[in-house]
Every structure is written in structure tokens, then in C-alpha cells.
Amino acid sequence: MLLAITVSYLLGKAALIGAIVAVSLGLAMYSTWAERKVAAIMQDRVGPQRAGPFGLFQPLADGLKLFMKEEIIPNFANKFLFVLAPGLAMVCALMSSAVIMWAPDYTMADGTVYPFQVADINVGILFVFGIVSLGVYGIMIGGWASNNKYSVMGSMRAASQAISYELPMGLSLLALLMVTGDTSMRTIVQQQDSFLHMNVWKQPLAFIIYLVCAFAELNRAPFDMAECESELVGGYHTEYSSMKLGFFLFSEYINMFISSVIMACLFFGGYHYPGMDWVQAHAPQWVFVATCILATISKGIAFILFIIFVRWTLPRFRYDQLMNLGWKSLIPLALLNLLITCAVILKFFN
Amino acid sequence: MIFLDIAVNSKPMDWFPILLQLGIAVAFAAVMIGATQLLGPKRKTSDKLVNFESGIENVGNARQPMAIKYFLVAILFVLFDVEVIFFYPYAVNFRSLGWDGFLEVLLFITLFLVGFVYIIKKGALQWEE
């Protein structure tokens, strides 16, 4: 089986992975810019404007600054784990994009098919779940290794929050799985081939539950208890400096982009866009594929903007409110949704 | 049997690109962390290397027992997550299992809910006293 790996296959995959990593990093950088600009507009300020036109070079300057900063590892910290944690956070953030389907397959002149999906595994959704769960380790290890009271508290909160919201997230996706009948990302995206076939119409409640859980998993406002700066200084990354701090922040923004794209793929038709059949029939294949990639990414960007708007609109929850929402509202709601979906499909569509 | 249905269509080859992506991600993280270690200035003083504690002197160790609730949530998560995972094979195959399967899952969900109501009544998820 392993003999099927050829040089061109390897190069093709490596190029795709490289492109995805580059796009994720680029978009994560510009999400920070967008966040500051949106916050500024919503608060009637100007926002970053000195570095380049509209402050467009600001993320580059920030990145460079993080690189050139002195690196502090506190004396009481566990050195190995302290360095490992941000790397782990970054690796987890970069891994979950492996199962996303970015565009339809590209058929080359010699008949070989080039898929715009790194790995077409049949348990795509479960893979995403696994990686999301691993993401907690970066935060947990980071907080514990710092040996700082704020960090430990922040990482405790983050871990409890993340695992609590994984339950309703899993349950809401189950309802979606019942509709699609498949766990492979490729099948799920291909099924939603028109506006009315989007899964969000079939599973609106599952989408809302998933969205709320995504906010909690991403540690984003209104659920940003882990780094709640008014109580915990910086939460789990209080002791971090230079690019290790940058890694924590970047991995958060990369996760934001990837989970936005995953939401677009699961509920909003992935690469499908209105009029794509016409484009497929009239334009060269590479134009068609390029527009599909653009469609996927723009749906992701739309979600990123939504997440940013929410951050600057809603105040932070209290911790007990957060836990009550997760355990006492979302889990029963998701279970109910699951049962209703199951009964309706068995009654009318089987 | 149901678990096997998922496994049958899987080829080890499908997972190779994930390994490749893991390699690239690890390499990226390692190179960046290494580079920042080399690039930054190194002017360490003993004050800088003390843990931050809002400007006052450090008191005790941060790694001390925390509120039991976090631990409780983690234990409950393990229990419930396993139950959620059991739903997955059912969700993929529930059309072929029909109403009989539905009744059985209803029984399973009842058990799930009994446990859920029990932990809530016990106050395991009570955050404010």
C-alpha cells in the first residue's frame, strides 16, 4: 500500500500543505489587524493607521517586534514544558486544517486528479474533534509550567471550559451527521450543492449550538475567561514573552480561521457559491477551482468578522454562567435536537 | 459490527498526508521557537526572572490544590464524552437500524439523562454557593 507514494504525490501534498499553512498564518495575522480596525470603528476611533496605508503593515511590524523581544523563562518555571506548550498550541492549530475540503478536485491534462483536501479520511469530523481536544494541552501545560498563580488559574478555567463545551459540540454535530449520513468532510461538502441544500436549513439548532460552543472552544469573548485581563492579568500566558507569546496568540487566531472554515463547510456549503455551474461550464478549470477556493475562504472570513463583532458587542460572561449555559442548557438542548432529528428522519425520509 | 462499518472503507494511505502535515507543523513550530531564542536580546537580571505577582513579593508555590470543582468537571467530562462517542456509530448507521434501533437509543439516552439529572441534583455543577 505504501508503495503508492510517488514523488509527484509527495510534492503535490507538500505544496498544498504549505499553501494552507501560509494562508492560515497570513489570515491569522490580518485577523489581528481586522480585529483592531473593527474595534476602532465600533468605538469611534481610527485604529492602526501609521504602518502603511490603513495600517496594513501593522501585523508585519507586530510579528517582527515579537521576534526581536527578549525571551524570559522564569526561574521557577519548568523549562522544558514552558517551551513545549506554545509549540503544542501551534501544532494543534495547524493540524485541524488537514481534513478541510477547499475546492473541487482538479483534473490535470494527463488525467491525474489533484484534490484540494490534504487528507480525505472517512472520519473527518472526528479528526477535527480529536485535534480540538488536544488544543487544551497547550494551554494547560503552559499555565502549569509557568508556576504563576494567575496562569494556573487561567489554565484551569480554560481547560474546564473547553472540555465542558466539547460535549454539546459533539452532540450537535451528531444531529448533523444523521442528516448527512457520513463523517467524511468531502461527502458533507458535496451534498450541499445548492443554496437550499445547505445543512444550516436542515439543522438550524445544531448550527446555533455549534457556534456557541465554537466561541467557548476558541476562548473568544464573551467566553474569554481564560485570559480575562481584568482578573487574571493575561491568564495562562501571563509569563510568556517574545514569539512564545506570539505563538499562543497566533494559534488562537489560526483556530478562529480554521473553525470558521469548518463551520462554512459543515453548515454553509463549503466551496459552493451561486452560479458556480455556469462558471464551471464556461470558464477554464483553473478559474473555476480558484473561485471555489475564494468562496471557501470568503465564507471563513465572514465568520471571522462575525466573531470579531461579537467580541466588541457582548460583555464577558461570569464563570458560573458559562458553566451553567454549557451543562444545563446546551447539553439538554442538543440531546433534544438529536432525538427529534432522529425521529423525523426515520418517519419521513427512510 | 457497527464500528467495523466505519473501519472497512479506511485505507492507511489516507492518513499519510496527515503525518506529512504533522511533520511540517512540528518543523515550523520548532524553527520559529528556535529562531526567536537566537534573535532576541539577552539581558537577564534576577528581578526579571521572578514570577509575576502584581509587583508584590512571591508568596508560596502556585502549584497548590485548586477548587475541587475543576476536577469534578473533568471527571464528569470523561464519563459523558464516552457516552457521546457511543452515539457516533449509531448516528452513521441509524437509517438501517430503523425504529428498533431508535428505541434502543432512547433507552440509552434515558440512562444518560438519569446520570445527568443525578449529578445536577447532587450539586456537582453548582458553581456559586
| Predicted local confidence at residue A301, as pLDDT | 92
Interface test with A, best of B48, B87, B93, B119 (most A CBs within 10 A): B87
Residue B79 in domain = yes
Percent of chain B with pLDDT over 90: 2
Residue B35 in domain = no
Percent of chain A with pLDDT over 70: 97
Cell of B95: 437509517
| Predicted local confidence at residue A208, as pLDDT | 92
| Predicted local confidence at residue A1, as pLDDT | 44
Tell me the whole-structure pTM to 2 decimals: 0.88
Nearest chain A residue (CA) to B35? A67
Looking at residue B93, which CATH number applies to its domain?
A: 1.20.58.1610
A247 to B32: CB separation less than 8 angstroms, yes or no:
yes
Residue A273 CA to residue A275 CA, distance in Å, equals 6
Residue B29 in domain = no
| Predicted local confidence at residue A306, as pLDDT | 92
Point out the residue among B26, B53, B62 whose CB comes nearest to the CB of A91: B26
The conformation of residue A107, written as its DSSP 8-state character, comes to: E
Chain B residues within 8 A of A21 when measuring between CB atoms: 24-25, 28
Report residue B65 CA to chain centroid gap: 21
Residue A314 CA to residue A81 CA, distance in Å, equals 35
Nearest chain B residue (CA) to A127? B18
Q: Name the strand (E) or helix (H) holding A116.
A: strand A113-116
Per-residue pLDDT of chain B (129 residues; tens, 9 = 90+): 344 444 455 667 778 888 888 888 899 888 988 888 888 787 777 777 777 777 777 777 777 787 778 888 888 888 888 888 888 888 888 888 888 888 888 898 888 889 888 988 887 777 776
Point out the residue among B29, B62, B120 whose CB comes nearest to the CB of A147: B62
A4 to B24: CB separation less than 8 angstroms, yes or no:
no
Residue B49 in domain = no
| Predicted local confidence at residue B3, as pLDDT | 47
Say whether residue B107 is in contact with chain A using an 8 A CB cutoff. no
Residue B39 in domain = no
Domain containing B86: what range?
Answer: 68-122
Q: How many domains does chain B have?
A: 1
| Predicted local confidence at residue B2, as pLDDT | 46
Say whether residue A174 is in contact with chain B using an 8 A CB cutoff. yes
Residues of chain A under the 70 pLDDT cut = 1-5, 226, 228-229
| Predicted local confidence at residue A212, as pLDDT | 92
Residue B40 in domain = no
For residue B39, give every residue at least 6 positions away whose Cβ sits within 8 Å of its Cβ, in sequence order, or none.
A67, A68
Residue B105 in domain = yes
Cβ contacts below 8 Å, chain A against chain B, sum to 223
Q: Find the radius of gyration of the CA atoms of chain B.
A: 25
| Predicted local confidence at residue A5, as pLDDT | 65
Minimal CA separation from A7 to chain B, in Å: 13
Cell of A109: 491534462
Task: Provide the strand spans (E) within A65-127.
Answer: 103-107, 113-116
A206-247 confidence digits (pLDDT tens): 999 999 999 988 888 788 776 766 777 777 888 888 888 888
Classify the complex by whether its ipTM is higher than 0.90, answering yes or no: no
| Predicted local confidence at residue B8, as pLDDT | 52
| Predicted local confidence at residue B10, as pLDDT | 61
